[in-house]
Amino acid sequence: MLSQLLHLISTKEVTLLKELNKLININKQGKFYFKNIPSFQIIHILNFINKLEDNSIYTIIPMISMFGKDDDPYIIISKQILVSKQSSPLLIHDFLYDKMELAIQDFGINNLDQGNHFYLIFKYKKVTLDFSKLA
């Protein structure tokens, strides 16, 4: 069941944690880690996904920040996303880019879309699944 799920998570459409959490118990305990991605560069998203453990699922809280520093303000641009090593970097990039464009429009942060340098930040951690809900 896990291997089938790994091939479905964020491969054809982005999988949000809240969608899967309705069907399967997801243990979200554990420490979050951070990955800074300069200017939404897809190569860094690809490298992030390639470094994930095989047969594991992660939750990501995607944020944007002007300088990528811990104490600076940031904006969360989406609900939590689930990813695995099989997830599509292009799909994730395009989904988050659309969310960022919406944030720029909604909050009037025009300096983000004028080519200024900023960071996409992944606040992420590994999660474990409990399939007992399906029984």
User: Which pLDDT belongs to residue 8?
Assistant: 84
Query: Could you give the C-alpha distances from 88 to 42, 110, 114, in angstroms and in order?
Result: 11, 28, 27
- What six digits make up the tokens of 49? 């996904």
The answer, yes or no, to whether residue 112 has pLDDT greater than 60, is no
Tell me which residue of 113, 11, 132 sits closest to 66, measured CA to CA.
113
Q: Is 10 exposed, middle or buried, given 0-12, 13-18 or 19+ CB atoms closer than 10 A?
A: buried
pLDDT of residue 133: 54
pTM: 0.87
pLDDT tens, residue by residue, 67-111: 788 788 889 999 999 999 999 999 999 999 999 888 888 877 766
pLDDT digits (tens, 9 = 90+) for 12-67: 999 898 887 676 778 788 899 999 998 888 999 999 999 999 999 999 999 988 87
**Which among 81, 93, 84 is positioned nearest to 20, based on CA atoms?**
81
Nearest to 112 by CA among 70, 63, 71: 63
